[in-house]
Amino acid sequence: MKRKGFSFLAAAVIASAALLAAPEARAEDFYKGKTFRFIVGFSPGGGYDTYTRLIARYFGRYVPGNPTTLVQNMTGAGSLISANYIGRRAKPDGLTGAVFNNSLIVQSALGDKKAGAVPFDKMEWVGAPSRGEIVCMMMAFSGKTTWKDVINSKEPIKIGATRAGSTGHDIPAILNKAMGTKLKIITGYRGTATIRLALEGREIDGFCSQWESMRVTARSMLDAEGDQKLVPFVIDSHSYPDPEIQKIPLFKDVLNEEGLKLYNSWAFQMAFQRMLALPPGTPKDRLEILQKAYEKTLKDPKLLAEAKKAKLVVTYVPGPEVKKLVDGIINMPAEVRESLSFLVSQTKK
């Protein structure tokens, strides 16, 4: 009788231990021999693609079972296609994540019908590798390479962008509304890589983007001479040591009261950039496994050394923080939503 009781107790202890170890064990069993896909919503060669490929090279070693990783570019509609895929079509099995423009979340909150169809509020967030710093730039051949040149231009200035909701579209739109600039926004590009080609081909005169990306991916253009030189003319801050931005004006110093209010409301989203999203309904244990692996990846000394060599700045934002920021955008105050609503009316139908 005593032996039977002891056997039952021992079995219960073993079972309890097995349950405690189960999530890691199950995850290792699940991921072993599989492939984790990173879906990038923009074309190869841009900032989203560059950051994601760096992360993908290290990510698999920190996920239990060491799955292989694959980066797939799914371009279109300013990364809306990739966001829609991860939000509505991808299996919630923890094997697929997407990196898209978080400005789409702003567009959704402002009432854009296409972005509003994506369930951003139900997605799971692994984390983000960077924060953003807005910069606007012009090609030297345009003859308008300073803030005064742009603000005083009597002729339309062609500005490239992916779609409404992107930095490339919304910042020029804000400048037009508040400052009276004549920035003609041309949408439809698949990413900053294709926009750079359009700049070099004199198809457009300039564009707005994030400096942490452009200082790397557009370095040859920033270092060029003559008419093919890309010249920043206004930026969010001078926090980076790059000489080409140290003397250019800051948004906060050149915008009028209306412009600054619009800019600050819109730029809230810059607190996280290039985040990795999972489909709604992804099992909690797999989400936690991937969040831990993502954090370890972005703190890997070799990754950080590689990023430093490539002049990529890594400022890790944890998944739970990304979720809070996303919730903040979705539930933005009514007065902010109203002030930015004009951006939705400019969305290409």
CATH of the domain at 240: 3.40.190.10
Q: Is residue 95 part of a domain?
A: yes
Q: What is the rounded distance in angstroms from the CA atom of residue 196 to the CA atom of residue 227? A: 14
Res 12: pLDDT: 47
| Number of domain units in the chain | 2
Mean per-residue pLDDT for 296-322?
A: 96
Write the CB contacts of 103 (distance below 8 Å, at least 6 apart in sequence).
78, 165, 166, 167, 170, 269
Res 24: pLDDT: 52
Res 148: pLDDT: 97
- Show the domain range for 235: 134-269
Residue-wise pLDDT for 310-344, tens only, equals 999 999 999 999 999 999 999 999 999 999 999 98
Q: Is residue 347 part of a domain?
A: no
Q: Is residue 328 part of a domain?
A: yes
For residue 349, is pLDDT > 80? Answer: no
For residue 252, is pLDDT > 90? Answer: yes
Burial class (CB in 10 A: 0-12, 13-18, 19+), 17: exposed
Q: Same domain for 265 and 303? A: no
Higher pLDDT, 191 or 96: 96
pLDDT > 90: what percent of the chain? 85
Residue 21 pLDDT class (50, 70, 90 cuts): very low
Res 14: pLDDT: 47
For residue 300, is pLDDT > 70? Answer: yes
pTM of the model: 0.82
Residue 25 pLDDT class (50, 70, 90 cuts): low
Res 190: pLDDT: 87
Task: Of 124, 125, 106, 101, give the one whose Cα is nearest residue 116.
Answer: 106
Q: What 3-state DSSP class applies to 186? A: strand
Residue-wise pLDDT for 135-153, tens only, equals 999 999 999 999 999 999 9
Q: Is residue 343 part of a domain?
A: no
